[in-house]
Every structure is written in structure tokens, then in C-alpha cells.
Amino acid sequence: MGNNYIELGKRIRAIRKSKKLTLEQLSEMIGKTGQYLGNIERAEGIPSLNTVISIANALGVSMDMLLQEYLHEHSAELKPTKPNIYSPLLSKLKEMPPAKQRAIFQFICKMEKE
């Protein structure tokens, strides 16, 4: 798995532990199995955008806190050239099924390597 997934998993685990939540407690809060969440924390599974949003909400943190390493590395690239340029994109992503969200996320990760 890519470095972004490793960092995401580490961050989720660190925040979960800082909030004194077990893997099972957090997984129950987001409606997933402990095994699935463990796979995310070990970067052995790729979470959908909806799952990352659910994790952030359950942990009481913002998405940018979970993705801070990625956002920091790519901050110049992510600055909008027009106001609200990302809002329509995020709206479309939220409407898509998890499989399509994962495919888009994988595509973005591949694009950043080029």
C-alpha cells in the first residue's frame, strides 16, 4: 500500500488510542468490523471516502486532521484557483457508491506518483 495509507492508518490508530477507544468500540461506532478497521490501521485495506468520513466523525476530528500529511505534502497543489472549486467535486463523490469512491481515490494516488 502507498505511504499515504500507512500514514492514514497510523493517524487513525493514534487518535483512537488517545480517545481511549478500542478497535472494537470504534468499529461498532462506524458500522464496520474490527478486522476491517484493523486492516485500515495497518494499511492492508483501502477505505472508501464514506468510511474515512465516518471514522473522522466517530473520532470527533476533521477530515483534514486525518489527511494532514497528504494535505501538507500537496498543499500548493490543492489551493483552489477559484472559490468553491472543490465543493461540486466533493458533492459528486459523496453521491457515488463506495466502490467508485475507492477507484477515484486509487486513481488520484497513482496520478500523484507521475
* Per-domain boundaries in the chain: 3-113
Q: Which three cell numbers stand for residue 50?
A: 464514506
* pTM as predicted: 0.60
Q: What is the pLDDT of residues 25-37, one digit of tens each?
A: 999 999 999 999 9
Q: Is the dihedral of CA 50, 79, 113, 89 positive or negative?
A: positive
Q: Is residue 98's pLDDT more than 70?
A: yes
Q: Is residue 76's pLDDT more than 50?
A: no
Q: Is residue 57's pLDDT more than 50?
A: yes
32 vs 107: which has the higher pLDDT: 32
CA 24/CA 22 separation, integer angstroms:
5
* Residues 78/67, Cβ–Cβ less than 8 Å: no
Q: Under CATH, what is the fold of the domain 3-113? A: 434 Repressor (Amino-terminal Domain) (1.10.260)
